[in-house]
Amino acid sequence: MGKVRNILQAKGNAVYSVEPGVTVFKAIQIMCDKNIGGLLITDTGGKLVGIFTERDYARKLILKGKSSKDTLIKELMTGNPFTVSPDTSIDECMQMMVDKHFRHLPVVDCGNLVGMISIGDVVRHVIEEQKDIIEHLEAYISR
């Protein structure tokens, strides 16, 4: 099974983040513009302090009757999110995502934020791996 670094090599290391003092409205605008479901929250030094997802928006803002233009992201973000390293196995990521019920994992290497993977990235990688295995087995059988 592959590693997180394999996913990042395929999709790139783009990291979209905002600081905790940004409004929820601005964060949602960025998520919409970038077509992403989660946004990392970093301090002024670039250190990861939280994550904000569409699920946070729905459960912590909309259902509580708050306004996205008046609410800061730090009020809704999930602080100290679980992270993985580039050397974490895809199996381990999948298990963590299923067990903990989340869809995004920030990737940190030696204390530096280097990317983020989603459950979609993980599933895509697993499907590609299985496809490669099937092709190799078919080639072996047909020899």
Q: What is the CATH number of the domain that holds 127?
A: 3.10.580.10
Dist. CA 143–CA 130, nearest whole Å = 20
Domain count, the chain: 1
Q: Pick from 127, 120, 123, 92: which is nearest to 104 by CA?
A: 120
Stated as kind and residue range, the H or E segment containing 106 is strand 104-109
Structural domain that includes position 92: 4-141
Q: Pick from 4, 29, 31: which is nearest to 115 by CA?
A: 4
Is pLDDT of 97 > 90? yes
Burial of 53 by CB count in 10 Å (0-12 exposed, 13-18 middle, 19+ buried)?
buried
Q: What is the pLDDT of residues 62-94, one digit of tens each?
A: 888 889 999 999 999 999 999 999 999 999 999
**What percent of the chain clears pLDDT 70, i.e. is strictly above it?**
100
